[in-house]
Every structure is written in structure tokens, then in C-alpha cells.
């Protein structure tokens, strides 16, 4: 019986020694990929809360390559002087134009269609209707179809 117990005991000791608790540690790494989505700014956020100054103004404008340059920023011999003129628009539909002589001309503005490009602007000078041709963080190009003017403005920081 001793012959059976001794090998059995030896097998038991070997089995429990080598098959017992494993000291290896398992490490789990979580890798996160970050995606930043920048929403497209709205017409309202691009147009309002900024100072817009004239870059170029064309009269008798009917399309590309037409019209007479009335004003070009930095040019000499402009027909109109708009170096100090600045416009402001607010989200509530009001705006303010300060002309070259420092006169304040309050007005209103609104967008009248689904694609948000038809702009109506009213002030003491009357009402203008037109189309926003370009509007981004630094450019505001507006064709005034009431007066056939192409008004190219830039953001003044």
C-alpha cells in the first residue's frame, strides 16, 4: 500500500505545484479614436456679430466682367471713398451702417428663402433686395439687384 500512496502523493504534489494559480497578469488596453466633427456655420453666425468693411464696390453690375468700380480698398482715384465705412448686423434682424463721414444709419435685414441666399436690407436709403454670393468667416459678397451693385466686403478683426 505504501508503494501506491507514495507515487500518488508525489503526483498530487507535482500536480498542485505546477497546475495551481498562475502568476501571469493579463493587461487590457483600450484604444480610443477621437473624431472631431466641425459643424457647418449657419448664415446667421457668419453674418452677424462682426464688422464688415468694403473691399470693392461695383455699380451697374449685371454679371461677371461687368460694372464700374466705384471703390477698391487701397486704390487711388476711387469714385466713392469708403475707407472708413463699416457695417454691423445683429441676430435680431437689425443692422447699423456707419458711413465714411461717421454718420450712423440704422436698418434691418432678413433672409427670405429656404436656401438662405436672398437678402432684404432696409434703411433710410430704402429697401434693397439681392443675393448673397459668398459668405464665410472673412468674406461677404452681396449682389444688390435693386440697385445693380456688387458689394464685396471683408471681415475687420
**pLDDT of 17 over the 70 cut:** no
Q: What is the domain-level CATH number for residue 146?
A: 2.40.128.280
Burial (Cβ within 10 Å: 0-12, 13-18, ≥19) of residue 151: buried
Q: Which domain holds residue 122?
A: 44-156
Report residue 79's pLDDT band, with 50, 70 and 90 as the boundaries: very high
Q: Chain centroid to CA 85: how far?
A: 24
What are the residue ranges of helices labelled H in the chain?
A: 2-19, 43-47
* Neighbouring-strand partners of residue 56: 72, 152
Q: How much is the pLDDT for 92?
A: 94
For the chain, what is the mean pLDDT?
85
CA separation for the pair 55, 71 (Å, rounded): 8
Q: Is residue 121 part of a domain?
A: yes
Q: Is residue 67 part of a domain?
A: yes
Q: Is residue 63 part of a domain?
A: yes
Residues 126, 129, 95, 92, CA torsion sign: positive
Compute φ and ψ for 19, nearest 5 degrees: -110, 0
Q: Is residue 126 part of a domain?
A: yes
pTM for this structure?
0.71
Q: Is residue 137 part of a domain?
A: yes
Tens-place pLDDT, residues 95-135 = 999 999 999 999 999 988 777 789 999 987 789 999 999 99
Closest CA to 80 of 97, 95, 100, 94: 100
Q: Is residue 111 part of a domain?
A: yes
CB 153 within 8 A of CB 52: yes
As for how many domains the chain has, the answer is 1
Q: Is residue 38 part of a domain?
A: no
Q: Is residue 87 part of a domain?
A: yes
Task: Name the grid cell of 14.
Answer: 507535482
Amino acid at each position: 500500500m505504501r508503494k501506491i500512496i507514495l507515487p500518488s502523493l508525489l503526483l498530487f504534489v507535482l500536480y498542485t505545484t505546477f497546475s495551481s494559480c498562475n502568476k501571469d497578469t493579463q493587461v487590457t488596453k483600450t484604444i480610443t479614436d477621437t473624431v472631431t466633427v466641425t459643424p457647418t456655420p449657419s448664415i446667421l453666425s457668419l453674418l452677424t456679430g462682426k464688422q464688415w468693411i468694403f473691399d470693392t464696390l461695383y455699380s451697374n453690375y449685371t454679371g461677371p466682367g461687368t460694372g464700374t468700380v466705384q471703390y477698391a480698398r487701397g486704390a487711388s482715384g476711387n469714385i466713392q471713398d469708403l475707407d472708413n465705412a463699416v457695417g454691423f448686423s445683429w441676430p435680431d434682424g437689425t443692422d447699423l451702417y456707419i458711413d465714411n463721414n461717421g454718420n450712423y444709419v440704422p436698418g434691418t435685414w432678413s433672409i427670405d428663402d429656404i436656401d438662405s441666399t436672398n437678402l432684404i436690407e432696409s434703411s433710410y436709403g430704402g429697401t434693397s433686395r439681392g443675393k448673397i454670393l459668398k459668405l464665410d468667416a472673412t468674406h461677404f459678397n452681396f449682389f444688390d439687384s435693386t440697385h445693380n451693385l456688387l458689394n464685396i466686403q471683408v471681415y475687420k478683426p
